[in-house]
Chain A
Amino acid sequence: MADGRQKTAVTFKTRALITLSAAALVPLAFLATGVRSQLRARLVADYERRLDAVARVAREDLARESAAIAKRLSAVARAMPDDEQFRTAVLRADPEARRYLLDYAGHAMELTGLAMLQIQDSAGRILSSGHFRNEFDRPDAATLRLVASARDTALLLAVRTPEAPLLALVRADSLRLSGRRFYLVGGVAADELQARVRRGDSTRVDVAWDLRDSVVPPEGAAFRVVNLRYANDTTLKPARLVLTQSRAELAGLERELNRWLIGAVGTAVIGVAVLAVWFARSLSQPMADLAQATTRIDLDGALVPLPVEREDEVGTVARRLDALATRLRASAGKLRAAERRATVGDMARQVNHDIKNGLIPIRNVLRHLGDVSERDPASLPGAFGDRRRTLDASVEYLDTLARNYAKLTPRVVHEPVDVNAVIRDAVVSASASSDGIVQLKLTEQLPPVHGDRVIVRRILDNLVRNAIESLDERGGRVTVTSARSPEGIIVTVSDTGRGMTAEELAHAFDDFFTTKADGTGLGLSVVRRLTSDLSGNIRVESAPGRGTTFTLDLPA
């Protein structure tokens, strides 16, 4: 961020989530696509094979049906010469047998299971018709010629019936009676053939004949063609048996397949997402917790528990961090001890220096008084009177010095302390001669701080007094606030005084460092130490000409 470029923060959890999802879903998508493609290809191939089989069976059915028609016609032709009534009717034109003749084809048709049968003489005249009983005597030589010319092949023929033409698959046979030839034309209905050829509900069988019927298979449906011949009025024409296999079943299977695949993939996606979230969370959460814990590590404060008991990598990091913190804490202790020792040494030297400074006038006065008593004892009282003020000043100095050093000795008691009350006392005491300078912004209903009320008072006395003293002749303002913090209470003491330079700020809490002409340099040093005794924390922000703010964190 320092360079001003905006970067998108991608957390470890997000990365883990994306990685896991991609790792699982991409292969799954490939698998689903591949399975679907393969199954569809097999279904289509099976569909085509089935249609081929249907077409093959249809050709066989057609041939079998043609043979069966021929067989039945042959049976009728064999029986006719032995039928005396029939012979009488056709050869002798016996009127008594005429009705028998007219009904003969119908009876034969019923016996043989044919759908059409007509008996014609050599001129083509219909002698008896089974499918159209009263069509007798109608000449139909053209049909007879066409059907007879087809020899061993069955033809499609549109046969007359009373109601509507009947499309039939027909063949012809003949017989000779007393030198006269008679013909039989018979067959089965195309509808029956269609029903027989049809295999299952998914197969449609259409007959295209006489080139008037154009069978248009449904869009997308596959079809096969079985070729036939159709006997038109005078010629033979091509006809077709069109077998259409509906794709509805195939489409249904594909839909079912898609549903299963979508269901499987959807379930897998949900499962992977849940697992990925769980896994990413299980990876990132310990690290986030560890990171959060590290922010609470204070070398001078209480120990912060880290998840060192974990057996995984996070546990390893935690253990190393804990060890590092331990070592840092030990080093800090040593450093503080060293500082303390240094401070004691400095203080000893300072005390030595200060005592010497106090003792030097006394020693000089005593030497002077010794000289006077040896040289002129009578003038000793006068000399003592002259030098007494020096002695008193030195003693007072030493006394003051002793009191000041006495302030360096802490004595802590623990009790609930109303911080706001202490703030108000300190402000009243410190601003006795500076009314109106200090402004309070206190948050009520704060929890009590457990510590020494005198210590808290001393801390605030020092901070408030320092703030008031930092103001110059032009005046200014001191603001004291209190507020609740996650750990306890935050107190700030701000002034609009001259502020500190960076150098001054760096040594603000050092012993005996002062910027004031009459300061001891122990005020803020004592404040820091007392704050530490309360397990609190103090920090300062300041800039020249912009005032100073001390922030005091006190645990509740």
Chain B
Amino acid sequence: MSVQGRPVTVITTGTVLPAHAKAPANAAEQFLFDRAYETLVRADCRGRIVPQLAQRWTRNTDGFTFVLRGDARFWNGAPVTAADVIASWRASPSARVRALVDSSSAGNERTLSIATADSSVARFAAAGTAVTRESAERWPMGTGRYGIVESGGAVVLEPTFPTAARIEIRTATGVAARDAIDAGADVVLSGDPSILSYALRDTSRTAVDLEWDRTWALLVPGDATEDQSIATLRASLANDAVRAIARPAAVPDWVNDDASCPERAAPPRAPKRIAYSADDAIARAIVERLVAVGRGSAAAPLAPAAFATAVRDGTESAFVVGMPYHADRRCTTAALVPLIDARWQMVVRKRP
């Protein structure tokens, strides 16, 4: 990605926040995360689990034993030990990640044993298990090939190896995004069709589809009944309602395969107030459409924190929530109706 010695400039319409370091909320943060933070293992482009921070792992009767890479280092050059992995998990905001600490033990500096009955190693590829260490900077210190600094309003990926170029990531929307594109941005990362369309008016650029990474679903506490028109609604939402690269939700396996949650895929029958997070434009568009077609009485935008609380406590009659496409959710007491999937595109310069 080096551009003749100068930094690579990436323009994104999404926000890039330190708080999302272990839980990327969009493709831009995922782009950042992939380069700055590491988990023990990772899924490759075909979905196969391959080593990352761990050099190898073995499955035994009690669980897993991971052997860390010998050259694994934090950004400041300090070696990564099994104790660092456990300490990182202990400091995680996720209860599920913190739960790993009790079943983990460091055999030596590079060997980590984890007792678990779960036979899938994929859980150790989850972003929340990335190994980090507290830092004086805003961003936690990772073990990836790039460190993160902030400079001149941009989030900068500084390579820890000499042959790579710096990558400057700037957030811009609307006119500012178009101005940045016109100024010669090397990469445009966005889910906004209008921005992507504008970038592609420059015929020297081409679009690369990223993975479907987000799903928006209708969450209805309690029971609900089936509705056969949901397919039509999904198409309307994906094609017209949202300003995003979207498709009718391809219901993930974890929804359809779990026979213990038969009430899923059940939208509300009577019009009710539908809540969404006020900072989620796609959710807003979905709710607007649901209200427009009579599947809700009114839209209720809530502040993000209030929305999270409302979802947890079930204080609204219905919610539209955005979640990672591969969300590791299981059966809940709510009717969860996947509505649309969305993804971003990356617009890059064609090879000469």
A residues lining the B interface (CB < 8 Å): 95, 98-99, 102, 132-136, 138, 160, 162-164
Contacts and interface: CB of A to CB of B under 8 A. Distances in A.
B298 interface: yes
B100 to A, nearest CB: 42
Interface stretch (B35-43, B165-173, B286-294, B333-341): B286-294
Which A-B residue pairs are the 10 nearest by beta carbons? A162-B299, A134-B289, A134-B288, A135-B292, A162-B288, A134-B241, A134-B292, A162-B291, A163-B299, A163-B298
A102 B193 CA distance: 14
Contact of A133 (B285, B293, B300): B285
Contact of A99 (B193, B288, B291): B193
A138 B240 CA distance: 14
B240 A163 contact: no
A136 B239 CA distance: 12
A383 to B, nearest CB: 165
B18 interface: no
A162 B286 CA distance: 10
Interface in B237-257: 239-241, 243
Contacts of A138: 292-293
B1 to A, nearest CB: 32
A133 to B, nearest CB: 6
B301 interface: yes
B216 to A, nearest CB: 14
B207 to A, nearest CB: 16
A99 B298 contact: no
B298 A134 contact: no
B240 A134 contact: yes
Nearest to B285: A134
Interface string B239-279: 11101000000000000000000000000000000000000
A132 B288 contact: yes
Contact of A164 (B284, B292, B298): B298
A133 B289 CA distance: 8
10 contacts: A99-B243, A102-B240, A134-B240, A134-B285, A134-B289, A136-B240, A136-B292, A162-B288, A163-B300, A164-B298
Given A99-B240, A134-B285, A162-B298, 4 more contacts: A98-B239, A134-B289, A136-B292, A138-B293
Interface of B: 193, 239-241, 243, 284-285, 287-289, 291-293, 298-301
Nearest to B300: A163
B300 A132 contact: no
A135 B298 CA distance: 13
Contacts of A95: 239
B96 to A, nearest CB: 35
A99 B240 CA distance: 6
Contacts of A132: 288, 292
Contacts of B299: 162-163
Nearest to A100: B194
Contacts of A99: 193, 240, 243
Contacts of A160: 292
Main SS at interface, chain B: helix
B301 A163 contact: yes
A356 B322 CA distance: 162
Contacts, number: 37
Nearest to A103: B243
Nearest to B241: A134
A357 to B, nearest CB: 145
Nearest to B242: A134
A156 B298 CA distance: 21
Nearest to A129: B292
A138 B295 CA distance: 13
Contacts of B291: 134, 162
B240, B284, B299: most-surrounded residue (chain A CB, <10 A):
B240
Contact of A98 (B240, B285, B287, B300): B240
A108 to B, nearest CB: 17
Contacts of B241: 134
B193, B243, B291, B300: most-surrounded residue (chain A CB, <10 A):
B291
Contacts of A135: 288, 292
A167 to B, nearest CB: 15
Nearest to A136: B240
A216 to B, nearest CB: 28
B203 to A, nearest CB: 18
A20 B285 CA distance: 86
A133 B299 CA distance: 13
A135 B243 CA distance: 14
B280 to A, nearest CB: 14
A102, A134, A138: most-surrounded residue (chain B CB, <10 A):
A134
Contacts of B243: 99
A163 B278 CA distance: 12
Contacts of B193: 99
Contacts of B287: 162
Nearest to A135: B292
Nearest to A164: B298
Contacts of A164: 298
Nearest to B286: A134
A24 to B, nearest CB: 71
A95 to B, nearest CB: 8
A163 B289 CA distance: 12
A233 to B, nearest CB: 16
A135 B288 CA distance: 7
A135 B284 CA distance: 13
Nearest to B292: A135
A536 to B, nearest CB: 111
Contacts of B289: 134
A134 B238 CA distance: 12
Contacts of A162: 284, 287-288, 291-292, 298-299
B298 A133 contact: no
B12 to A, nearest CB: 21
Contacts of B300: 163
Nearest to B243: A99
A99, A133, A162, A164: most-surrounded residue (chain B CB, <10 A):
A162
A523 B289 CA distance: 140
Contacts of B301: 163
Contacts of A163: 298-301
B275 to A, nearest CB: 11
A99 B298 CA distance: 23
Contacts of B288: 132-135, 162
Nearest to B291: A162
Nearest to A165: B298
A99 B246 CA distance: 13
B253 to A, nearest CB: 30
Nearest to B289: A134
A138 B290 CA distance: 12
B318 to A, nearest CB: 13
A43 to B, nearest CB: 47
A133 B243 CA distance: 11
B272 to A, nearest CB: 13
A95, A98, A133, A135: most-surrounded residue (chain B CB, <10 A):
A133
A28 B292 CA distance: 73
Nearest to B273: A163
A432 B314 CA distance: 131
A476 B300 CA distance: 122
Nearest to B197: A99
A274 B291 CA distance: 81
A164 B298 CA distance: 6
A421 B344 CA distance: 138
A132 B298 CA distance: 12
B124 to A, nearest CB: 41
A138 B293 CA distance: 8
A133 B242 CA distance: 10
A298 to B, nearest CB: 107
B44 to A, nearest CB: 35
A132 B287 CA distance: 11
B175 to A, nearest CB: 14
Nearest to A162: B299
A138 B292 CA distance: 8
A382 B40 CA distance: 193
A164 B288 CA distance: 11
